[in-house]
Amino acid sequence: MIKVQQENFDVSAELAALTSGNHAIGGIASYVGLVRDLVGADSPDDALRAMTLEHYPGMTEKKLAAIETEAQSRWPLEASLIVHRYGRLEPGEQIVLVACASAHRQAALDACNFLMDWLKTEAPFWKLEETGAGEAWVDSRASDDAAAARWKVKTDRAAE
Amino acid sequence: MIKVQQENFDVSAELAALTSGNHAIGGIASYVGLVRDLVGADSPDDALRAMTLEHYPGMTEKKLAAIETEAQSRWPLEASLIVHRYGRLEPGEQIVLVACASAHRQAALDACNFLMDWLKTEAPFWKLEETGAGEAWVDSRASDDAAAARWKVKTDRAAE
Amino acid sequence: MKVLYFAWLRQRIGVANEEFDLPGDVDTVDDLVTWLIAKGPGYAKGFAEPQVIRAAVNFEYVPFDHRLSNTDEVAFFPPVTGG
Amino acid sequence: MKVLYFAWLRQRIGVANEEFDLPGDVDTVDDLVTWLIAKGPGYAKGFAEPQVIRAAVNFEYVPFDHRLSNTDEVAFFPPVTGG
């Protein structure tokens, strides 16, 4: 299931809905991404006040559904969920939830890892950071691209 | 933090307590183990009615705290949590929660995976299954031992 | 066709989306970028480093030699930073 | 010393734990198993396949050649199945 929303989410409620009544599920691996504020440690002006997530409505849902299908084809999942928020979020707030339920522990954990790597590099979201020094768009990280490349997902992205 | 308890746990509340006020945390990887009932699919007599987890009070807490320390020495974790229940549990109920919070996504996911592999093979818990056919103790699984061996944790276990 | 811009590309160009007929001399995404750059300084600034810009047509990532049709929805944006 | 038994080992022996003085001819965990087996049929049944039984002394897993002292807490149990 895919949810792209402004509202916050409750992890317990999402996991309960995902597994409800399915006793073939041995476990649920999940990852919750939070708005982090590391930059403010040294200089108060650098402290993150908020982050605004912009996305491409329509394409986001389509791409998230496609990668969820890909994960389900790679691992024996009983259920899966991606919740991704957009809009303005403050430090400590939840951004994203990925949850994968399976009879098999390692399948659940690997699928969760796969989906997070993909989200970082392929999901059409952009982050605008607000600090005391002003606003700045977050650059994509080479380490995220390398992590996603581990899985050899076929994409038709532009040659870069 | 280590909790060995009979009571159920609320994942959202546990994660919130783990990360509260720490804005250096970029994400939380977690795994929730559930009581699974696969055996009942074909024959009603084989259906799992409940599972009773026995443990070794004192040793359980000591071993869980030791492996949590080991995980914190291997990965840059901001916080970690193991909640393991004991007593009688029915299909669909939560057994265990492992959560690892870090600035770094992969560290959180790997540490969570490590702790779950360890719990399956080294934590002093035993499972008694109740079905229509009676009660039976669950054997340890060779696949769990192999998964734990990946991490090369030093143990002074008896030669087997 | 409909063209959308996101993140700092949207800010530099000054519009979030616009609709116009596919110009006669525009066959590919690359051609469209060249055509847009000629429209004004905001576009020129937005596409100053075209190698960092990604394109999607009808919600799928495409290379810049992808051929366009007049019914396409085309989106341009910087590298994504989700999760 | 205190000795504890868990899971099916506890059921076969019929007691969860017991306390007694370390017998004079018992030096190691292995010696203790031999001594226990002689105590009765429940113990003999419990330790019939000693290679599957694990031992802990003072909350740490030990090999069967581990030497015992009278103040030890010794636990015997089948392979664990946590998580």
CB A71 within 8 A of CB A115: yes
Q: In the prediction, which pLDDT does B156 show?
A: 41
Q: What percent of chain B has pLDDT over 90?
A: 71
Report the phi/psi class of residue A152: left, alpha or beta, with left for phi > 0 and alpha for psi in -120 to 50. left
DSSP string, A49-115: EEEEEEE-TTHHHHHHHHHHHHHHHHS-EEEEEEEEE-EEE-TT-EEEEEEEEESSHHHHHHHHHHH
Q: In the prediction, which pLDDT does A150 show?
A: 78
Chain A: closest CA distance from residue C15 (Å): 15
pLDDT at A154 over 60: no
Q: In the prediction, which pLDDT does B121 show?
A: 85
Q: In the prediction, which pLDDT does B95 show?
A: 96
Cβ contacts (< 8 Å) between C55 and chain A: which residues? 158
Question: At D72, is the secondary structure helix, strand, or coil?
Answer: coil
Total residue count of chain D as it appears in this document: 83
Mean confidence (pLDDT) of chain B: 88
CB D2 within 8 A of CB D73: yes
What global pTM score does this model have? 0.89
Q: Which of A99-103, B9-13, B147-151, D74-78 is predicted least confidently?
A: B147-151
Q: Hey, are the CB atoms on B27 and A12 less than 8 Å from each other?
A: no
Q: For residue C54, which phi and psi values (nearest 5 degrees)?
A: -110, 150
Taking only Cα atoms into account, the Rg of chain A, rounded to an integer number of angstroms, comes to 17
CB D71 within 8 A of CB D1: yes
CB pairs under 8 A between B and D: 84
Chain A: closest CA distance from residue C75 (Å): 9
Nearest CA in chain B to D10: B54
Q: In the prediction, which pLDDT does A159 show?
A: 36
Give the pair of three-digit tokens for residue A86: 């957009």
Q: Which amino acid is at B40?
A: G
Closest among B101, B106, B76, C56 to A151, alpha carbons compared: B106
Residue D57 placed within a domain: yes
Residue C83 placed within a domain: no
Domain that holds residue D66: 2-77
Residue D7 placed within a domain: yes
Residue that the structure tokens 């190698």 belong to = C51
Query: What integer is the mean pLDDT of A94-103?
Result: 97
What are D's interface residues with B at a Cβ cutoff of 8 A? 4, 6-8, 51-52, 54-56, 59-64, 75, 77-83
Q: Hey, are the CB atoms on C83 and A122 less than 8 Å from each other?
A: no
Q: In the prediction, which pLDDT does B155 show?
A: 47
Q: Which of A8, A9, A10, A11 to mutate to test the interface with B (most CBs of B within 10 A)?
A: A11
Q: In the prediction, which pLDDT does A24 show?
A: 92
Closest among A128, A133, A130 to A45, alpha carbons compared: A133
Over the stretch A31-64, which tens digit does the pLDDT of each residue have?
999 998 865 556 667 788 899 999 999 999 999 9
What is the pLDDT confidence band of residue A119, given thresholds at 50, 70 and 90? very high
Report the phi/psi class of residue C35: left, alpha or beta, with left for phi > 0 and alpha for psi in -120 to 50. alpha
pLDDT at B145 over 80: no
Give the pair of three-digit tokens for residue B146: 């192999």
CATH architecture of B2-138: Alpha-Beta Complex (3.90)
Contacting A residues, span 55-114, partner chain B, CB-CB under 8 Å: 91-92, 103, 105-106, 108-109, 112-113
Residue D9 placed within a domain: yes
**Greatest CA separation for chain D:** 40
Q: For residue B106, which phi and psi values (nearest 5 degrees)?
A: -65, -35
Question: At B134, is the secondary structure helix, strand, or coil?
Answer: strand
Nearest CA in chain B to D83: B120
Mean pLDDT by 10 residues, chain D (83 residues): 97 97 96 96 95 95 97 96 76
Query: What integer is the mean pLDDT of B52-58?
Result: 96
Q: Hey, are the CB atoms on A158 and C82 less than 8 Å from each other?
A: no
CB A35 within 8 A of CB A93: yes
Q: Hey, are the CB atoms on B96 and D63 less than 8 Å from each other?
A: no
Give the pair of three-digit tokens for residue B15: 């994660």
CB B30 within 8 A of CB B110: no
Residue that the structure tokens 């949207």 belong to = C10
CATH number for the domain including D43? 3.10.20.30
CB nearest to B32's CB, from A27, A48, A92 = A27
pLDDT per position in chain C (83 positions), as tens? Answer: 999 999 999 999 999 999 999 999 999 999 999 999 999 999 999 999 988 999 999 999 999 999 999 999 999 999 998 77
Residue D82 placed within a domain: no
CB A22 within 8 A of CB A78: yes
Residue C58 placed within a domain: yes
Q: Hey, are the CB atoms on C81 and A141 less than 8 Å from each other?
A: yes
Q: In the prediction, which pLDDT does B112 show?
A: 97
Residue D46 placed within a domain: yes
CB B33 within 8 A of CB B95: yes
Bridge partners of B3? B83
Distance CA B146, CA B27 (A): 28
Residue D69 placed within a domain: yes
Distance CA D43, CA B148 (A): 31
C-beta atoms surrounding A78 within 10 Å:
22
| Residue ranges of domains in chain A | 2-138
Chains C and D touch (3+ CB pairs under 8 A): no
Query: C28-35 long-range contacts, Cβ below 8 Å, gap at least 24?
Result: C28/C64, C28/C65, C28/C66, C28/C67, C28/C68, C29/C55, C29/C57, C29/C62, C29/C63, C29/C64, C29/C65, C29/C66, C29/C68, C29/C74, C30/C64, C30/C65, C31/C68, C32/C3, C32/C68, C32/C74, C33/C64, C33/C76
CB D73 within 8 A of CB D22: no
Q: Hey, are the CB atoms on C80 and A140 less than 8 Å from each other?
A: yes
CB nearest to C63's CB, from A55, A119, A158 = A158
Question: At B119, is the secondary structure helix, strand, or coil?
Answer: helix
Cβ contacts (< 8 Å) between A32 and chain B: which residues? 15, 27-28, 30
Residue that the structure tokens 């019939």 belong to = D48
Chain A neighbours (≥3 Cβ pairs under 8 A) are B, C
Count structural domains, chain D: 1
Put simply, whether B21 touches A (Cβ < 8 Å) is yes
